A = this chain, B = another copy of it.
Amino acid sequence: MVTKNQIKLVVSLKQKKYRSQHGLFVVEGEKLVDELLSAGLKPYQIFVDDAGLVQRFEQAELVSGKTLKQMSNLTHPSGILGVFRMKDSKDLDLEDWVVALDAVRDPGNMGTIIRLCDWFGIKTLVCSPDTVDCYNPKVLQATMGSIARVNIEYADLTVFLENVHRPIYGAYMEGEPVYGSNLTEKGILVMGNEANGVSDEVGKFITHKIAIPQFGAATAESLNVATATAILLNEIRRG
Show the binding face of A for B, using Cβ within 8 Å.
38-39, 108, 112, 115-122, 143-146, 149, 179, 212-217, 219-221, 223-224, 226-227, 230-231, 234-235, 237-238
Interface centre among A108, A119, A214, A217, by most B CB within 10 Å? A119
Residue pair B179, A216 in contact (C-beta under 8 Å) = no
Given A115-B227, A149-B217, A179-B238, 15 new contacts (CB under 8 A):
A108-B108, A115-B221, A118-B221, A119-B214, A119-B223, A121-B215, A145-B219, A149-B216, A213-B238, A215-B237, A226-B227, A227-B227, A227-B230, A230-B231, A234-B235
Considering only CB atoms, which chain B residue lies closest to A108 in the complex? B108
Residue pair A220, B112 in contact (C-beta under 8 Å) = no
Interface centre among A216, A219, A223, by most B CB within 10 Å? A216
Min CB–CB distance A111 → chain B (angstroms): 10
Residue pair B219, A149 in contact (C-beta under 8 Å) = yes
Chain B residues within an 8 Å CB radius of A223 = 115-116, 119, 230
Chain B residues within an 8 Å CB radius of A119 = 212, 214-216, 220-221, 223
Question: What's the Cα separation between A215 and B238 when bound, in Å?
Answer: 10
Chain B residues within an 8 Å CB radius of A122 = 216
Question: What's the Cα separation between A121 and B217 when bound, in Å?
Answer: 7
- Please judge, given known A-B contacts A115-B221, A145-B221, A238-B179, whether A120 and B216 are in contact too, CB under 8 Å: yes
Chain B residues within an 8 Å CB radius of A112 = 224, 227
Chain B residues within an 8 Å CB radius of A237 = 213, 215
8 of the cross-chain contacts (CB-CB < 8 Å) are A117-B216, A118-B220, A119-B212, A119-B215, A121-B216, A144-B221, A145-B221, A227-B230
